[in-house]
Every structure is written in structure tokens, then in C-alpha cells.
Structure 1
Amino acid sequence: MTVSPRLPPLFTGEWVPNQTDPFDKAVSRAIAGVDSGTIFYSDAVDVLRAALVLAPETSLEEAVQVVYVAQIGLAESLGALAPPEVPVFFQWPDRIKVNGAVCGGVRFAADVSEPSAHPNWLVVGIDVPFLPVGGEPGETPNQTCLHEEGCVEITPMALLESWSKHTLLWLTYYMDSGFERIHNEWRPRCDTLGKMIDLPKPGLFVGLDEKGRMLLRQDVMTETVSLIEFAEHV
């Protein structure tokens, strides 16, 4: 019997069989016109996969800023549920890092691709492994799962419930105060900020601009890289 998550007001849940990707289901239902605030989820025990459908009232360039909101929601959820000594950070554009290794992240898609276009829908998904994905522990030191990091007491359902609450809270902050507050919360959690990086391209990660675009310095030139480039094609 499937147990329904306890979601906050404004969000409703829709269960998806484990063989179906909740993100793909959310996209197909968004195209068909599902209500904004619907979270599609599976009840797998080895991974949390969930996707939230939103109906933005802004251009895509602004709407994709909710990817940062979803990351903050996930980091705060892990901070609330995991042992206090487990650090959670971000890796631009969409990864979550636990104890310095990648532990899932955020996915997103919309029905438009031009920054100035207004999307009818935006789907933001999360993917967090609880158990190792093949191989022996330690074989992939740059990737991890929650159980390997001492988070054995956390269940996918508990993390989903917590993520929905924290994400709704930060969505409210975002709608009330704009991107600046989100940026101020996100920036200290990004462990590659101010460092030389190789992806998405080599350069010094200077920070984010007021629209949430990466500022990447290469020699004397600084260019911007938009989150939109990392949207999934549907």
C-alpha cells in the first residue's frame, strides 16, 4: 500500500509507479494542463525522485531562478534531517554535494527556451540517491549517497515531505522579495564559488549576476552562462 506524503498547503501529491520517472510524468501532465503545485513522486526506497509543476508568471529567464529555490529547499531539508556534522553544499548549475561528493541534484524543463518567452509551465525535479548505484563503496569518490554519509535514519518519504515544506517557504520568500534573498542564501553554500572550474567551461567562477546567471572569468573577459542552457529537452 502506497503511503501518501504529508505536503504543505498549495501542494498536492500524485504517486507514480517506480518504473516511471516522476520528472517525465510531471512534464507530460504539465503539457496536458495539470494544476500548478502538483508534486509527482515515487515510493522507491533506494532513491528520492520527485518533480514539482509550476506555472510561472514571468519570463523564462526569471522563472529558472526557482532552480536555486529547489536547491536551497533540498539543502535545508538535509540539514534538518541529517546528522549535524554532515555538510551540504551546491555545485553550479544543479548538483547537491554531501561531504564534498555529489549526491544527486535538481532537474528542470519548460515549454519554451527563449529567455524572454513566458512559459506556460516549468517542472523542477529532484533526484537524491539513498543507496549506492552499482559498484563498491569508494569506487566513485566524487559521487556518494545518503547512506554512505551516515544518513541511514532518513527515508525518501521524510525527505520529500521536508523538501516540499522548505521549498514552499523559499518560494514564498522569492515571490515576496525577489532573487536577491535567494542569491544571498545560495551563495555561501556553493563550494566552487571563487574557484577555477572546468565545467561548464574552464574559468574562474566569480559569482552570479542579478538574473542568476553564472559569471565566468576567462583571462580579462567575463561572460555569463544561463541556467537555461541546462534545461532538459522535452
Structure 2
Amino acid sequence: MPVDFPPLLTGRAVADDPFEVACVAAGEADPGTVFYSPDPDRMRAAILLAPEVPLREAAGVSFAVSLGLNDAVGALAPPEVGVHLEWPDRIRVNGARAGRLRMAASTADPEVEPEWLAVGVELAVRSQSSDAPGLTPDETCLHEEGCGEIGTPDLIEAWARHMMNWLHIYLTDGFSELHEEWRAKAHRLGGAVEYPEPGTFVGLDEWGGMILKDGDATRILPLTRMMEVRCSPA
């Protein structure tokens, strides 16, 4: 089934991991290209971008990607299905892990403007495990959570539309609205966490970094720590 993308985005179906393909194609593909997999069991897609701001600020687009997925599931799933975002890269459905984000760029220096930035998203649509439902309570998929009518093409289309809305907000109004919306969807904000490090998840800094308290000590985990640094393609 073909996938339709909104204006300013160009879709490219790929047989391999879309995120890996996006990183390799960064030297020749246009910004706004979305690489996606037709796999019916797992929604996998990655968008290639060309930020004009330092990496510290550019990393905030990952919030647009995750909020777009949150809104897409909200539009397609029954109302009782809840999606929460676990800093920095996990996606939970009804409390259990169901997907993840990945992010890569041409640099790891927060103060440098990257030549390119790729953000990938994955979400389990149907189970690929031979285990019976309930045997892995911290892992799930959409179909196990009552979303049996959702297919991968529809999910990719809805994600792309909602992501573009958040990207528009990010580019015109800045990061603050994404910051507030993400906080409303955050997993364990204000509570104890073990991932990615143990402590109390106090909040986010102005760039989307995790403010983590451990006893009397407070530290910030920058959002750029989830970055996978790749050399720019020749």
C-alpha cells in the first residue's frame, strides 16, 4: 500500500533500516526526505534534516518527531490507549515499552551547526515474539493494546502529518511549546526513574535536557547525549 506524505516531505520506501539508510544518504538526499519501511509488523521511519542552528538547539526536533507519533496514535487508536514519552528515546503505550527514537548527526559538538541531522522513530504494530501476550509485561505493541485496526501505512501517514505540525511550531515559535507539550506526555516526570540513569526526574532544561536529582545533587543530562555521531557521507 503506498504511503502519502504532506507537502514539503518526500517519502522513500526502503528495504533496510530506514534510520541507517537516512544516515548513509545524508550527502545526496534532500532535507525533508522520509525513509520508511513497508514492514507490517513494525512502523519504522526516519526524517533527514539540515538544521541552521547549533546541535544543542537542533536536537529539539526529536520532540517534534515523538509528539507527532503521540498525536498519530491518539488520532487512530481507541481513546483508552495512552502514549507516554520516556526521556530521551523510549515510547510507551499503556505503560509498556513499544518503540524508540534514534538521532544521528555529522557532529557531536553541541555548539556546532551540523551538516545534517537524522531522526528515526520505531513503534511495534504487531508482536514479533513467540511469547504469549502478558509474558513480557514491560513490552507491548499496538495490536495487543486494542489497536488491531491500525496498519503501518496509516500510522506513517498520520505521524508525518502531525510531525509536520510540530516542526512548523518549532520553526516559527521556537522550542517552548514543544517543551510544554512533551512534559504533559512525559513518563515519570516528577518521580523516580532508573533510565537512563537513576534519580528523580525533576524536569527539562531550556534545550530539552533531563534535570535529574539524586539526593542533594542535581545534574543535567543533555538531549545531545542520545546522538549517534556519523561521519558525513563522501
Identity across matched positions, percent? 45
Residue type of the partner of 1:10?
L
Q: Which of residues 46, 49, 57 is equivalent to 2:44?
A: 49
- The 2-side partners of 1:199 and 1:149 are apart by 23
- The 1-side partners of 2:11 and 2:99 are apart by 21
Q: Residue by residue, what CA displacement relative to the aligned partner does 1:69-111 show, whole Å, maximum 9, x if unpaired?
A: 1110000000000011111111111111111111102111111
- The 2-side partners of 1:205 and 1:231 are apart by 20
Whether the aligned pair in 1 keeps the contact of 2:207 and 2:223 (CA below 8 Å) is: no
Across the aligned residues of Structure 1 and Structure 2, the Cα RMSD in angstroms comes to: 1.0
Q: Which of residues 9, 12, 15 is equivalent to 1:14?
A: 12
Residue type of the partner of 1:8?
P
Whether the aligned pair in 2 keeps the contact of 1:4 and 1:13 (CA below 8 Å) is: no
Deviation at 1:133? 2.8
- The 1-side partners of 2:70 and 2:36 are apart by 19
Give the number of equivalent residue pairs.
Answer: 229
2:115 is aligned with 1:125? no
Q: Which has the higher relative contact order, 1 or 2, with Cα contacts under 8 A spaced 6 or more apart?
A: 2
- The 2-side partners of 1:112 and 1:228 are apart by 10
2:135 is aligned with 1:139? yes
TM score, norm. by length of structure 2: 0.95
TM score, norm. by length of structure 1: 0.95
Where do residues 102-181 of structure 1 align in structure 2 (5 Å cutoff)?
102-134=97-129, 135-181=131-177
Residue type of the partner of 1:7?
F
Question: Displaced runs of 4+ in structure 1, greater than 2 A?
Answer: none
Gaps of 5+ in 2: none
Gaps of 5+ in 1: none
**2:95 counterpart residue number:** 100
- The 2-side partners of 1:121 and 1:222 are apart by 32
